[in-house]
Amino acid sequence: MMAIFKIKAVNLFAITIMVVCIISCNSEYKHIEIKEILNGSTMGTSYSVSYVSDSVSINKKSIDSILFELNISLSTYIDSSIISKANTSVDTIEIDAHMCAVVGRAIDISKLTNGAFDFSVLPLVNAYGFGTEELKDHSSAELDSRHKKVDYTNINLSCNEGHCFLIKKNKDAQLDLSAIAKGYGVDQLSAYLEQKGVSDYLVEIGGELKCKGSNEIGQHWRIGIMKPDTNAGPKEYVMVLSSDSLSLATSGNYRNYYWKGDELYVHTIDPKSGKPVSTELLSVTIQAPDCMMADAIATACMVIGKDSSINFINEHDDISGILFYRERDSLKHINVGLNARLMPKDS
């Protein structure tokens, strides 16, 4: 499977939410057969589709086919992808329905976050060595040159009679949809399951997830949020959430980083300063109406920091979240309106 993201040894930060299909079992619940847990690779990470049904069978090839289409549209690591062609084009270019949908939402969320989420940040992502290039040229001249290319307002859409065109006001503008694509993939797979008549499911791509209904023993789905620490074990949960309807995404900087001399470089770039962010936040888990929005908002919160994130979430009734940060030597967290039920970690 071709990938949207090139994963290095440290590029595992997004997988901070571990799906727990069965943490406990209770005989008082009627057992309903779970047809299959489908697993695979996509977008430089893994995916998992769990569903419960006594009448519907989902073909893994159908899941892989959907994800393949998304890669062909949105992957900056595929030279022939639609986004790669758009990034090298200096003219208006026709794009497919997937890219049109994602760019349209990306524009809206960029406006909503006042540019903290900016999908035109690829030139800087590459400059700091977190993108498709191995370049790590941190000279002021190079960074200033690339920073001038970053401005989401330089990118617009024009749609007419079933055709969608990408318009770049700045011919050097380049798109990076990696902070929203996994969420979109989750939404697309969820929509496919519902179209097939599945109403109880949990879909996860690289830690971004959507769940609906109940698991195979009739209980809410349970999601363990991992400790934001590079030394944390695979099942070292900070908390467990329980819900029958949840779209969730996590962003963090505690794994995807490197040192150059005495300076720390993290993968999240502040589009306004043109530099890697430097905040007290270790990770942010966001709940939103859909996974695509949660994915992008989580990135925006990592950019603006703890206090501004709290204010932003409180200003939007359809967004909630949990912020993890370090205070002195202690790991702290703030729950900002997340309505999923918090469960004991050992339940």
Block means of pLDDT (10 residues each) for the chain, length 347 residues? 34 39 35 71 94 92 98 95 96 97 98 98 92 74 93 96 95 96 99 97 96 93 86 78 94 83 87 92 96 98 97 97 90 87 58
What pLDDT score does 247 carry?
97
Residues 6+ apart with CB under 8 A from 134: none
This prediction's pTM = 0.88
For each of the domains in the chain, give its residue range(s) and CATH number, in order of start: 35-342 (3.10.520.10)
Encoded tokens for 292: 């695509």
What pLDDT does 22 receive? 36
Helix residue spans in 211-342 (DSSP H): 291-304, 306-314
Which tokens go with 6?
A: 């090139």
* pLDDT for position 136: 61
Helices (H) and strands (E) counted in the chain, each on its own, are 8, 19
